Amino acid sequence: MKSSLPKVLMLGWEFPPVINGGLGVACHDLSSAMSEIADITMVVPKTSPGFKMKNMNLVGINNIDVNTFDHHPVEGASLPYKIHNVRADINPYYSTNIEGYSVEGGGSSTASYGTTDRERLQAFNIDSLYGGDVIQKVMQYADITASLASKMDFDVIHAHDWMTMLAGIKIKEQTGKPLVMHIHSLEVDRSGPDNRGWVYQLEKKGMEIADLLLPVSQFTANIISQHYGIDSGKMKVVHNGSMPVNAFKSKRRFKEKTVLFVGRLTRQKGPEKFLEIAARVLQKDPDVRFVMAGVGDYFKSVLERSSYTGIGNRFHMTGFLDQEKLRYLFSVSDVYCMPSISEPFGLSAVEAAHFGVPCVISKQSGVSEVLNGALKFDFWDDNKAAGYILNLLHDKTLRNKVIEDASENLKDITWDISARKIVNAYAEKQFI
């Protein structure tokens, strides 16, 4: 690596092959693009021992040798607030309205976790980063990462979402280096604007302490200002990019046309809205199949409602699918529908566009700012969404127009563009 490149200590939670959703994909693709113009060290809780990244130092805590790890906390370093801890089994991208945690100003963390090096490191030799007490894992990650950072040379700390905020704050306090927080998703998106639980409190404190925020859309930037009280002057919007896709078409296994939904089955993604839209479309055209790919806490309720509404024979729920199977679905779909209630970005819509699938997406999404070729509706307007889908299924001229416009948009939705904007933002703030 060239010494003249800016040195970035990047803090992530998901990374291949450990990916639970869009965050892992975004961290991988962004860091890969940034590694061409910056010296990147990425620290994540867990990765495969044999997994390597070109031009990047990838550190998986689960792979650190306990016999060589030198835990070296900086004297006087403490978090600028307290976290009162009760055990909570949560997924950080599902609803996190958990009673018992609170964040207060002043003092250090009162959360308890392993005190030996072996206990700290072994916390991430697990099948899932989201099993057990996630906040305890967040604290362990912060402690280990801060110890590692005390021996590293870097110019900027770049943290992704709330799971890495504690680590970023601690390293900033220890080193005085500028802290950048990349905001991919917020508690307000996941649980609604009335939630003021401990994750919300942590996000608010973290964004107040950060020197620069990088929301993935103007939609998210507006939420940060409105619901967290952060000055917009502290933010630089950097839309997500996308990787080139070798798109293909496959032979479908049934004669009906297909409308696809891909995403976590949680409140913010609007899975119940997709069901309602499907019912309206099927009233007008019964020869359509709707496919919902994903898992989440709404799975059971959507499955039950699809039976009660009498559309179960045209509404299919696949559960979790790997990338190969998802791409097969894109290759046989006629329309992609994203009815999100609050979507910071929405990479799945971009991937659908790469496969030449026309998209019908909610205006309450970040991707609507860059995928201008898509047809857009307010998430509550089921009639408009259903009308757009029917038009795309039956109007070849409209369908071709939407596909062509989206194809032009994709030229400006790249990770290289996103990476350059981020490094330029570092320079504008005189971090490098």
**Distance (Å, whole) CA 139 – CA 159:** 14
401 domain-assigned: yes
247 domain-assigned: no
Look up residue 270 and give its amino acid.
Answer: G
251 domain-assigned: no
**Distance (Å, whole) CA 75 – CA 94:** 36
125 domain-assigned: yes
**What is the pLDDT, as a whole number, of residue 68?**
59
The answer to whether residues 113 and 194 belong to one domain is yes
| Domains held by the chain: number | 2
The answer to whether residues 192 and 301 belong to one domain is no
The answer to whether residues 138 and 263 belong to one domain is no
Q: State how far the alpha carbon of 37 is from the alpha carbons of 6, 163, 237, 421, in Å.
A: 8, 26, 19, 11
Q: What is the CATH number of the domain that holds 116?
A: 3.40.50.2000
The answer to whether residues 180 and 276 belong to one domain is no
The answer to whether residues 211 and 284 belong to one domain is no
Look up residue 390 and give its amino acid.
Answer: L
The answer to whether residues 233 and 276 belong to one domain is no
In the DSSP assignment, the letter for residue 73 is P
105 domain-assigned: yes
**What is the pLDDT, as a whole number, of residue 77?**
42
Interacting residues of 374 by C-beta distance below 8 A, sequence separation 6+: 349, 353, 358, 359, 360, 361, 367, 368, 402, 406
Helices (H) and strands (E) in the chain, counts: 14, 14
> What averages of pLDDT result for each successive group of 10 residues across the chain (432 residues)?
80 80 87 96 88 88 70 49 47 48 47 54 59 77 92 96 95 97 94 85 95 98 97 97 93 93 94 96 96 94 86 92 94 98 96 98 98 97 98 98 97 97 97 95
252 domain-assigned: no
The answer to whether residues 287 and 419 belong to one domain is no
Sign of CA pseudo-dihedral 307, 308, 310, 316: negative
The answer to whether residues 172 and 262 belong to one domain is no
The answer to whether residues 173 and 101 belong to one domain is yes
47 domain-assigned: yes
The answer to whether residues 199 and 320 belong to one domain is no
318-322's contacts with Cβ under 8 Å and 24+ in sequence apart are 318/291, 318/292, 318/293, 318/294, 319/293, 319/294, 319/295, 320/294, 320/295, 321/293
Q: Minimal CA–CA distance to 422: which of 156, 242, 226, 117?
A: 156
Instruction: Please count the other Cβ atoms lying within 10 Å of the Cβ belonging to residue 21.
Output: 19
Total-model pTM: 0.88
152 domain-assigned: yes
Range of the domain at 363: 257-410
Interacting residues of 116 by C-beta distance below 8 A, sequence separation 6+: none
The answer to whether residues 147 and 288 belong to one domain is no
The answer to whether residues 31 and 176 belong to one domain is yes
Q: State how far the alpha carbon of 10 is from the alpha carbons of 29, 160, 182, 209, 294, in Å.
A: 13, 8, 10, 17, 28
